[in-house]
Amino acid sequence: MTTQIIECPSSCTVTVEHLITTPLLDLSLSDGGQIAAAVVMVWTVGWAVRMAIRAMHVDETKSSSTDD
């Protein structure tokens, strides 16, 4: 935390504290691992849903081509 003191000409003093942080760079190893695991799990669920839809679509295509 950086403090900056500004002196006014009318005998007042202003203290400003800079609280700028970048939370992505302040992650611990365990926090980063939890975020990475959550991203991988979301990707895995999306991939599984896509494969399930693809499997259902392929079954419909095969059954409709045999009916002709």
Which residues span the domain enclosing 27? 21-67
* Per-residue model confidence as pLDDT tens digits over 14-39: 666 766 767 667 788 898 899 999 99
Answer yes or no: is 51 within a domain.
yes
42 within a domain of the structure (yes/no): yes
Tokens of 54: 């693809």
- Judge whether 33 lies within some domain: yes
Q: Indicate the pLDDT class of residue 46, thresholds 50, 70 and 90.
A: very high
Q: 29 in a domain, yes or no?
A: yes
Asked if residue 1 belongs to a domain, the reply is no
In total, how many domains does the chain have?
Answer: 1
In a domain, 63, yes or no: yes
Of 4-8, 22-26, 31-35, 61-65, give the range with the top mean pLDDT.
31-35
Task: Establish if 14 belongs to a structural domain.
Answer: no
Q: Give the global pTM.
A: 0.50
3-class SS letters over the chain: CEEEEEECCCCCEEEEEECCCCCCCCCCHHHHHHHHHHHHHHHHHHHHHHHHHHHHHHHHHHHHHHHC
Within a domain: residue 52?
yes
